[in-house]
Structure 1
Amino acid sequence: MTTTRLVTSGLFADGLRLLRLSLRLDAVVTGANGLAYLALAGPLEDLLGLNAGAGRAIGAFLLVYAVAVWLISMPARPHRLAALAVVEANVLWTVLSIVTLIAGWLSLDSIGIVWTVMQALVVAGFAGVQYVALRRIR
């Protein structure tokens, strides 16, 4: 009974509010991650085994993506197809992160592998919450 009340009231009941919040949180986390990749490319190379050039490229991409996600979250009612594109991009990022690890494309060390898995889980979590929010808006 308590679980039902949590799901049918508050933040989880309001799909629009949940969508905007999850998009904005996604943008902030992604932007912070992108800044870290750009500003700390050298130290992250030592820590994660991620080539500094690749880290900078990933960081730049993440910053652009974060701005796009934030802009999508701005309207009182975010455009459904744009929000769905964010969900799909997040799922793609998650899958490509795992494929990258399996294929060994970035030659990450153990900490880099753990970081990539954790990052993929966070991104998958954003995709899941955003998808649920979109379903609630219908």
Structure 2
Amino acid sequence: MPFTLTPALRRTLHLDAMMSGAAALLLVFAAAPLSRLLALPEELLFWAGVILVTFVVMLLVIAARKVLPRLLLMDVVLLNAVWAVLSFALLASGWVSPNLLGMVFVSAQACAVALFALLQFAAMREAQS
């Protein structure tokens, strides 16, 4: 089903791309010092940043379109929601042993990503009404 991108939804996609892009740069280029600061594995930080680079590209391509499949927008919302859930699951799993700052870092970014999912979903619902 085709969906016309509204200005509000386009703004949330651009803001998500901007914040995810900043996080990607930080994680890719500062994985080693962040690893020491947060007590999180350097490889985890680096590869999370690489994944974010591809996500940012996808967001920018989607935001540039005027009309696109609704399912594609729902995929963005779901990817954000899954990232947030998996971030908290990582902390609860015991696979990593971050220090307090590391726990705050992971929790804060997970909350920010969850907020993007909610904002994007709300913008989609508003556009449909």
Is TM more than 0.5 here? yes
The one of 98, 105, 118 equivalent to 1:108 is 98
> What is the CA deviation profile of residues 2-43 of structure 1, one whole-angstrom value per residue up to 9, with x for unaligned ones?
xxxxxxxxxxxxx81111000111011111101100100111
The one of 87, 99, 102 equivalent to 2:89 is 99
Larger radius of gyration: 1
Count of equivalent residues: 124
The one of 11, 23, 36 equivalent to 1:21 is 11
Q: CA deviation at 1:46?
A: 1.1
Other-structure match for 2:115: 125
- Structure number having the greater strand percentage: 2
Q: 4+ residue stretches of structure 1 with deviation over 4 A?
A: none
| Equivalent-residue separation in structure 1 for 2:69 and 2:119 (angstroms) | 16
SS of the equivalent of 2:65 reads coil
Other-structure match for 2:26: 36
| Equivalent-residue separation in structure 1 for 2:63 and 2:70 (angstroms) | 11
RMSD of aligned residue pairs (Cα, Å):
1.3
SS of the equivalent of 1:106 reads coil
Unaligned runs of 5+ in 1: 1-14
SS of the equivalent of 1:105 reads coil
SS of the equivalent of 2:125 reads helix
| Equivalent-residue separation in structure 1 for 2:7 and 2:95 (angstroms) | 38
